Amino acid sequence: MLTRPSDALKLILNEVSFLSQETISLSKALGRYLSQSLVAPIFLPPFDNSAMDGFAVRCGDINVATSDRPISLKVVGMLKAGDDVEGMRRAMPLQQGCAVRIMTGAPIPAGTDAVIPFEETLTPQGRGGHETCTIPKPVRIGENIRKAGEDVQKGTCVLDKGVRLTPRNMALLAALGFSEVSVTRLPQVALFSTGNELKALGSVLEPGQIYDSNGPTLSLALQELGLKSKILSTPQDTLQDLLNTFQAASEAEVILTMGAVSAGDFDLIPQALEKLGAKVLFHKLAIKPGKPLLFARWEHRFLFCLPGNPVSSLIVFDRFVRPALLKMMGASLLFRQHYTALALHDIKATVGKEDYLRARITWKDGTFFAQLAGSQGSAHLAPLAESHALLVVPESISQIREGEKVEFEFWSETL
Ligand code: AMP
Ligand code: MG
């Protein structure tokens, strides 16, 4: 009896939980997940400041200015970014008919209520030295002033627990002065391929041998999630060698194996797990490709035993292992976004199994279109390499006709 993929995912996500938290420097936190929501400790910006290089003025002084009858104001000082706002307030109480030359980011002097950019005045823009500025039009109160707190109010929640840290949201954290953040710690992952036929990259193939592509591929898929992994050398297809390799991997919290989990005479992973005393939670899913996937617990460790066919192993990693790892890493979003495309041709699917088909996606006039990326054989890597997305076809469907809707998820948010 094959386990349904939705039940398998429920089971996996019930077993795994968030790991503990750790505090790390912001500079090391890219791609990590916040273990606590973050509250702004200061206002952003912290003080009223100029959005332009120009003159800080009192609007009331120039509200009748026109290009025919411009108004000249006396320039009584200069403020630049970094000047002490309080000191400047004391030093520069602005009188009627006066203005202050001001640079972007400088604090707004007391008494002024707008900034007029240099290019909107009739005053030549040469550096300094002008005792007056001539203004040809009125300005609105607050114009070109960035008010304290207009971006973020002190005390408000700026990022939620479970958010992934990116250069965009880390810009906000840096501006708010967070030098450190609390994130969920990363799981320790080990992986190994199995198969007498496999040779490591860099060696010369003898007849009957192939390169181990799954080991490097899965390690890269883990890297894409922000995880380093320990890659163990490939055991021979013997029970003893498998057991030794599991022991060598036993420091890890998550162990991924590839191959030897199907129905062949040398598919000895299930036997090895029995010997280890691991508890198998499911083996074999109603999916294509990737049917042989096995999920087990070995004491506190989680074991994902992936099929050996390279396309299958990467697909089941993406759909079943990735959400589990993301949950452990503290992520609030565990699944890829689903989109809908229109099929560019008839697409066959397997009744009784959820199909994952490698596809190329195009975008035209506001609609996604999908076409299969070549052969769907689970050993065919060339179509995988040129695919953008996986079409996900429910188990009840035998065919999608040209022009019908099909659901898909992109391999990556950034193509
Ligand atoms: P298995 O699941 O061990 O029966 O392997 C299924 C198919 O996948 C066989 O053709 C294997 O040679 C191939 N295979 C298994 N492991 C790997 C691997 N690490 N890299 C590339 N191909 C593999
Ligand atoms: Mg094998």
Model pLDDT for residues 6-40, shown as the tens digit of each residue = 999 999 999 999 999 999 999 999 999 999 999 99
3-class SS of residue 254: strand
Would you state the pLDDT for residue 131? 87
Q: Which long-range contacts (CB under 8 A, 24 or more apart) does 136-142 make?
A: 136/65, 136/66, 136/67, 136/70, 137/62, 137/65, 137/66, 137/67, 138/59, 138/62, 138/63, 138/64, 138/65, 139/57, 139/59, 139/62, 139/114, 140/59, 140/114, 141/59, 141/113, 141/114, 142/113, 142/114
Nearest one of 127, 110, 119 to 56, comparing CA atoms: 110
Q: Could you give the domains of the chain?
A: 5-19+186-328 (3.40.980.10), 21-40+155-184 (3.90.105.10), 49-146 (2.170.190.11), 339-410 (2.40.340.10)
Spatial separation of the C-alpha atoms in residues 328 and 185, rounded to whole Å: 8
- Ligand 1 pocket, mutate which of 293, 304, 309, 312 (most atoms under 8 A from CB): 309
The answer to whether 297 touches 15, Cβ cutoff 8 Å, is: yes
Spatial separation of the C-alpha atoms in residues 135 and 115, rounded to whole Å: 11
Instruction: Name the pTM for this structure.
Output: 0.94
The answer to whether 303 touches 281, Cβ cutoff 8 Å, is: no
Give residue-wise pLDDT tens across range 233-251: 999 999 999 999 999 999 9
Q: Is the peptide bond before 46 cis (omega within 30 degrees of 0)?
A: no
Distance 248 CA to ligand 2 centre (A): 20
Would you state the pLDDT for residue 125? 61
Q: Judge if the beta carbon of residue 359 lies within 6 A of ligand 1.
A: no
Counting from 1 in the atom list of ligand 1, the atom nearest the Cα of 193 is 19
Q: Judge if the beta carbon of residue 195 lies within 6 A of ligand 1.
A: yes
Q: Which parts of the chain sit beneath pLDDT 70?
A: 85, 87-93, 124-130, 413-415
Nearest one of 159, 152, 151, 211 to 34, comparing CA atoms: 159
Spatial separation of the C-alpha atoms in residues 357 and 370, rounded to whole Å: 10
Would you state the pLDDT for residue 412? 82
Q: Judge if the beta carbon of residue 387 lies within 6 A of ligand 1.
A: no
Ligand with smallest separation from the Cα of 381? 1
Distance 46 CA to ligand 2 centre (A): 62
Q: Is the peptide bond before 216 cis (omega within 30 degrees of 0)?
A: no
